[in-house]
Amino acid sequence: MSTAVAAHPDAPTSGVTNAKLGIWLFLASEVMLFGTLFTTYLVLRMGAASWPRGWDVLNVPMGMVNTFVLITSSVTILLAYVKASEKNKSGFQLYMGLTILLSFAFLVIKGFEYGAHFAHGEFPSTSIFNAVYFTMTGLHGFHVICGIIVNSGLLYLSGEDFEHPLFAGRVEGAGLYWHFVDIVWIFLFPALYLL
């Protein structure tokens, strides 16, 4: 898209495509959403008489594996975008498929962690730490599920729409969202497990 020249441009725009600007605006609102949860976490933690250290109550190795899984999936979706912009359909499908598999792996590992907590009688209602832990990871997990839906949709659409001129842009948008989900986890993991 042509860029704005200062004085009297033909079509003044921000210089970013609609879709990309839209995604970034959406991410800005998501930043505020998770920011609120982090504020809640910090306020409640600093106000609490006692707060468990993450390694005492959570499974750090599982959290670390999940971090690796999510970072790897960030790289694969990036490669999927690279392949999509290179018009390499099978390459795109390979990497997008890998991304989705890794996202499922993340959820499965998370599910095992949740299952272990429930088995020990730890529920969101049992302590304020559990409330924070389950709500933050739960909302993050919800975002992972949304990402899986979007990415699967793109994988499905790539059968017919791969040649569409906007297709690579859509993959880029999905990628931006997925990297954001990754960033949220990058903060969540130390905040809950390691501090």
Q: One-letter amino acid identity for 34? A: F
The residue within the footprint of another protein, chosen from 40, 89, 107, 113 (CB under 8 A), is 40
Q: According to the binding rule CB under 8 A, does residue 173 interact with another protein?
A: no
Q: Going along the chain, which residue ranges are E strands?
A: none
CA 150 to chain centre: 12
Cβ 73 vs Cβ 99: under 8 Å: yes
The residue within the footprint of another protein, chosen from 125, 159, 160, 163 (CB under 8 A), is 125
45 versus 101: smaller Cβ distance to another protein = 45
> Which residues between 143 and 162 bind another protein (CB under 8 A)?
none
Cβ 96 vs Cβ 80: under 8 Å: yes
Q: Residue 9, class by beta-carbon neighbours within 10 Å (0-12 exposed, 13-18 middle, 19+ buried)?
A: exposed
Q: According to the binding rule CB under 8 A, does residue 18 interact with another protein?
A: yes
107 versus 139: smaller Cβ distance to another protein = 139
Binding mask 57-96 toward another protein (x if CB under 8 A, else -) reads ---x---x--xx--xx-xx--xx--x--xxx---------
With contacts defined by CB under 8 A, name the span among 31-39, 103-111, 112-120, 144-152 that binds another protein: 31-39
CA 187 to chain centre: 11
